Amino acid sequence: MDITKDVRAKQLGQQPKTIWLTGLSGSGKSTIVNELEKRLFVYGKKTMVLDGDNVRMGLNKNLGFSEADRVENIRRIAEVSKLMNDAGLIVLTSFISPFRKDRRNAKEIVGKDSFIEIYISTPLEECEKRDVKGLYKKARAGEIADFSGISSPYEEPENPDIEVDTTGKSIEETVEYIFSRLKKYL
């Protein structure tokens, strides 16, 4: 193709990246991604958010929450992120993505120079306190199988590009912290 990722990036005036937020349910990923996208938008960046709401309703609606389905879910998200990066966009993702090997695979698919891993390291106890949907309670009662952090493992990133624990921090403080560190990648 004559119109390449670099040509599109130049036209849009930005470096296409995939900003991959990982962390437990209730850690703040979706709220952070929403606010971070608004911040990038104000700075004139062309973005797209991928999260459970827009991915599980269409592209991945045939997948459940078994380990195999979670692996495939993350693989598909990485492939879509790569395509959107090829279109010149900055992609923000918000997924638990509990397994290291799947995040490494996502980074390989997207490309190591385009992938920014952000670990929302909010502790399990804090995530459970924030659980307005009662998912942790159901998981602890055995009503939800394969729930990350309870009945299924969550493997913390070994070397994330950015890490933040949202405990005791406002969304504004958290987004400012992340945004200040993202500047060197964008």
Which is catalytic among the residues 94, 97, 114, 148?
97
9 band by pLDDT with thresholds 50, 70 and 90: very high
Q: What residues does each domain of the chain span?
A: 5-123+153-179
The separation between CA 98 and the C-alpha centre of its own chain, rounded to angstroms, equals 11
pLDDT 10s digits, 63-104? 887 778 888 999 999 999 999 999 999 999 999 999 999 999
Q: What is the pLDDT of residue 114?
A: 97
Tell me the binding residues: 23-30
Binding residues for ATP: 23-30
Q: Report, as an integer, the average pLDDT of 112-118.
A: 97
* Angstrom distance (rounded) from CA 108 to CA 116: 12
pLDDT bracket for residue 131 (50, 70, 90): very high
For the chain, the distance separating the N- and C-terminal CA atoms, rounded to the nearest angstrom, is 25
CA distances from 16 to 9, 91, 144 (A): 6, 8, 37
Residue-wise pLDDT for 14-50, tens only, equals: 999 999 999 999 999 999 999 999 999 999 999 999 9
Helices and strands: H and E segment counts in the chain: 8, 5
Question: What's the mean per-residue pLDDT of the chain?
Answer: 94
92 has which bridge partners?
19, 49
For the domain spanning 5-123+153-179, the CATH number is: 3.40.50.300
d(CA 23, CA 123): 9
Active site residue 97: yes
CB 17 within 8 A of CB 60: no
- Sole residue written with tokens 């390989």: 108
